Amino acid sequence: MKQTYEHIHPVPQLPGFAARIEGLDLAQPLSGDVKRELHRALNEFGLLTIPPQPLTPEQHLDLASAFGQIATGAYFPRKDGYPDIEVIRTDREHPPELNVWHSDVTWKAQFPTGTVIQLLELPAAGGNTAWACGRKALQGLSAGMQQYLRGLTATHSWTGSLVEDALRQADTETLLEVARRFGPVVHPLVRRHPESGDDVLFANEAFTRKVNDVPFRESRALLEFLREWMIQPEFVYSHKWEQNGIAVWDNRSTQHYAVADYWPQNRLLQRVTFNSVAE
Ligand SMILES: [Fe+2]
pLDDT tens digits for range 23-46:
899 999 999 999 999 999 999 999
213 is catalytic: no
Nearest to 228, CA basis, from 212, 258, 260, 204: 204
Q: What percentage of residues in the chain have a pLDDT greater than 70?
A: 99
Residue 107 has φ and ψ, to the nearest 5°, of -80, 0
Range 90-110 average pLDDT: 95
Range 98-103 average pLDDT: 96
Decide: helix, strand or coil at residue 49. Answer: strand
Dihedral, CA atoms, 25, 28, 30, 31, nearest 10 degrees?
A: -110
- Residue 32's pLDDT is what? 97
Q: What is the 137 CA–ligand 1 centroid distance (Å)? A: 19
pTM for this prediction: 0.96
- Asked whether the predicted pLDDT for residue 58 surpasses 70, the reply is yes
- Asked whether the predicted pLDDT for residue 101 surpasses 70, the reply is yes
Decide: helix, strand or coil at residue 191. Answer: strand
Segment 127-177, tens digit of pLDDT: 999 999 999 999 999 999 999 999 999 999 999 998 898 888 878 888 899
94 is catalytic: no
Q: What is the 104 CA–ligand 1 centroid distance (Å)? A: 5
> Which position among 102, 191, 193, 267 bears the catalytic label?
102
Q: What is the 215 CA–ligand 1 centroid distance (Å)? A: 30
Range 65-75 average pLDDT: 91
> Which position among 104, 198, 199, 250 bears the catalytic label?
104
User: Residue 212, CB half-sphere, CA atoms under 13 Å: how many?
Assistant: 14
- Residue 211's pLDDT is what? 98
Q: What is the 115 CA–ligand 1 centroid distance (Å)? A: 9
- Residue 75's pLDDT is what? 82
* Mean pLDDT of all residues belonging to the chain: 96
- Residue 279's pLDDT is what? 64
39 is catalytic: no
**pLDDT band for position 103 (cuts 50, 70, 90):** very high
Q: Name the DSSP letter for residue 66.
A: T
**pLDDT band for position 1 (cuts 50, 70, 90):** low
Provide the residue ranges of all domains of the chain, joining segments of one domain with +: 9-275
CA–CA–CA angle 254, 258, 244 (5° rounding): 95
The topology (CATH level 3) of 9-275 is Double-stranded beta-helix (3.60.130)
Q: What is the 102 CA–ligand 1 centroid distance (Å)? A: 6
User: Residue 243, CB half-sphere, CA atoms under 13 Å: how many?
Assistant: 6
Segment 223-266, tens digit of pLDDT: 999 999 999 999 999 999 999 999 999 999 999 999 999 999 99
256 is catalytic: yes
Q: When comparing pLDDT for 118 and 163, which is higher?
A: 118
